[in-house]
Structure 1
């Protein structure tokens, strides 16, 4: 996948998780993706393992798992709560709103965030993160 094809694949998957057009989502080759901004934003029920995704080329993850912000669902949270501690985020510069309005609560202590320039509201209105 690249920046364009990953978005198409995600849309297909979210509309029909059983379609298996691209195989199991946890095994997708994401090594060429640089922009993961808003990939699963507002997909409140998405909660699939993504731990083996290759994120070494990614520079932007803003809003990636952000919950809904408008309309009747604005009080809901994104259910994504999978272990992504193995992700290499050393090239990421933007993590703003990444887990905003979400239930995410896994350790990301091992992440190298030295390149990140903004984490604006990264965990805003999320369940208590520990």
Structure 2
């Protein structure tokens, strides 16, 4: 399978959200995309078109299995699923140890409630509004090492189901 790059993964993701069958013909099944060289997944499935980076409304229904993606080289996941209101994929096995920013990653991802307890977020510095209005999220994040995070402003604002803590 062809390795995705920072540039073409965004094109492929947009194509997938707009027409799954056509994208599958061009890029293959999304569940096995080779993402090992991708360093930025910012705005990847974002319904928000902030700074022209998001996909728009086409991503609102995105809920594909991307659990096997290799995200070990990714450093930016800002706005990744922002507004992807149907997304509730299993991300528990993702290696996010190199990620430094998760700002608004799950903003308004209202169905999202994946187990993220095993994520190594020790290099993340920005979690600002990470789960804002992620209405279903109630994950246990108490084992997260957030000692390098410099901003958590509004991290759980509007995430009315979340009752846990981070340390």
TM-score by length of 1: 0.90
Aligned to 2:126: 118
Greater RCO structure (CA 8 Å; 6+ sep): 1
**SS of the residue aligned with 1:18?**
helix
Structure 1 residues 75-118: Cα deviation after superposition (integer angstroms, max 9, x where no partner): xx611101010000000000010001012101100000000001
Kindly state the Cα deviation for residue 52 of structure 1 after the two structures are TM-superposed: 0.2
1:12 pairs, out of 6, 9, 15, with 15
Q: 4+ residue runs of structure 1 moved beyond 3 angstroms?
A: none
**CA distance in structure 1 between the partners assigned to 2:89 and 2:16 by the alignment:** 17
Correspondence list, 1:46-85, <5 A: 46-67=62-83, 78-85=85-92
The CA RMSD measured in Å over matched residues stands at 0.9
Q: Which runs of 5+ in 2 are unaligned?
A: 48-58, 139-167
Kindly state the Cα deviation for residue 128 of structure 1 after the two structures are TM-superposed: 3.8
TM-score by length of 2: 0.70
**SS of the residue aligned with 2:21?**
coil
Task: Count the aligned residue pairs.
Answer: 121
Matched, 1:2 2:42: no
Q: Which runs of 5+ in 1 are unaligned?
A: 68-76
- Which of these two proteins has the greater Rg computed from alpha carbons? 2
Aligned to 1:90: 97
